[in-house]
Chains A and B, each alone.
Chain A
Amino acid sequence: GDSVTQMEGPVTLSEEAFLTINCTYTATGYPSLFWYVQYPGEGLQLLLKATKADDKGSNKGFEATYRKETTSFHLEKGSVQVSDSAVYFCALSENNNDMRFGAGTRLTVKP
């Protein structure tokens, strides 16, 4: 079945450091790919998405490119802030009724 594997955390960075969180997927067809973010004490919220190969999703300085050849959707940000501290989830969906999430990666940004 479809699945998502993302790098284990936790990840701790200093403010303004470069962030990469790796995500790879397994799917039978052509899924849409997503990054969700969960801030402390809150539900998940969509950060960005890409619906087809070579699409780049971006939001709030975060980016991820849908790479079909490497089945990857790595999350990047050039300069993280303390307010980016959260848990980040990679996810995929081949139809909108079944969203599969990775295990989550906790990011802590220190001033």
Chain B
Amino acid sequence: DTAVSQTPKYLVTQMGNDKSIKCEQNLGHDTMYWYKQDSKKFLKIMFSYNNKELIINETVPNRFSPKSPDKAHLNLHINSLELGDSAVYFCASSRGDANTGELFFGEGSRLTVL
């Protein structure tokens, strides 16, 4: 069973469209994250949710809206896509326990905006 799964794995779309990426974890973790990885492999946190509540919201355009229907799911919706949104988006989860600190990552969703 995949621990952290995200769909779709690849997404190609036109500028101005709206798209969503879904993420689910079956590890029973309390905390979930979205990270953006650019073409140079730089990894930047976007959002963090703990038990469905937003706890980290970095400086991200408000075109990006995370939604957590329950603590096993954290979806990312992006409005009015721009060329600069092209990247690989990673979902991750953790126990929310300060003693472990281990994040479990999904395989990534590569978004290409044309």
Contacts and interface: CB of A to CB of B under 8 A. Distances in A.
Interface of A: 32, 34, 36, 38, 41-46, 49, 51, 87, 89, 93, 95-101, 103-104, 106
B101 A49 contact: yes
Contact of B103 (A38, A44, A104): A44
Given A43-B90, A89-B43, A96 B105 contact: no
Nearest to B44: A101
Contacts of A100: 45
A39 to B, nearest CB: 11
B98 A95 contact: yes
A96 B98 contact: yes
B101 A32 contact: yes
Given A97-B31, A97-B50, A103-B40, A34 B101 contact: yes
Nearest to A87: B41
B101 A96 contact: yes
Contacts of A96: 31, 94-98, 100-101
Contacts of A34: 101-102
Contacts of A44: 43, 90, 92, 103, 105
Interface of B: 4, 31, 33, 35, 40-45, 48, 50, 55-56, 90, 92, 94-103, 105-108
B24 to A, nearest CB: 14
Contacts of A36: 103
A99 B43 CA distance: 10
A46 B103 contact: yes
Contacts of B40: 103-104
Give the residue among B4, B33, B95, B105 with the most A Cβ atoms within 10 A: B105
Nearest to A45: B105
A106 B41 contact: yes
Nearest to A93: B101
B103 A99 contact: yes
B74 to A, nearest CB: 13
Nearest to B90: A43
The 3 closest A-B pairs by CB, nearest first: A43-B105, A104-B41, A101-B43
